[in-house]
Amino acid sequence: MTQRLHLVFGGELVSPTGTAFKNVDDIHVVGIFPNYATAYDAWKNEAQRTVDNAHMRYFIAHLHRLRDEEAAASSTEELG
């Protein structure tokens, strides 16, 4: 069975309309979750906790899509 891992992370953005972080050293990694439902709950909790700061944004990354064994290797993997 394929694992469907999800990473929840966020931080302060340069602009509330963009996705560039103000300081990547301050990115808050909430955690890695085994399914979308638990990742969504964690994302929602952090988003609601920081709702008063328009520059704070949290994201859900689908890690299982990044580690697809069937996909061709990217150029960064070939550097190895």
- For residue 78, tell me if it sits in a domain: no
Q: What is the span of the domain harbouring residue 20?
A: 6-70
Query: Per residue in 25-55, pLDDT tens?
Result: 999 999 999 999 999 999 999 999 999 999 9
| Prediction pTM value | 0.78
Per-residue confidence (pLDDT) for residue 72, from 0 to 100 = 60
Is 14 part of any domain?
A: yes
Q: Which residues pair with 57 in a beta bridge?
A: 11
| Residue 76 included in any domain | no
User: What token pair was written down for 34?
Assistant: 């085994």
CA dihedral sign, ordered 3, 32, 8, 22 = negative
The total number of structural domains that make up the chain: 1
Residue 52, domain CATH: 3.30.70.2400
State the pLDDT at residue 46. 96
For residue 49 the two structure tokens come to 């906790």
Q: Tell me if 43 is assigned to some domain.
A: yes
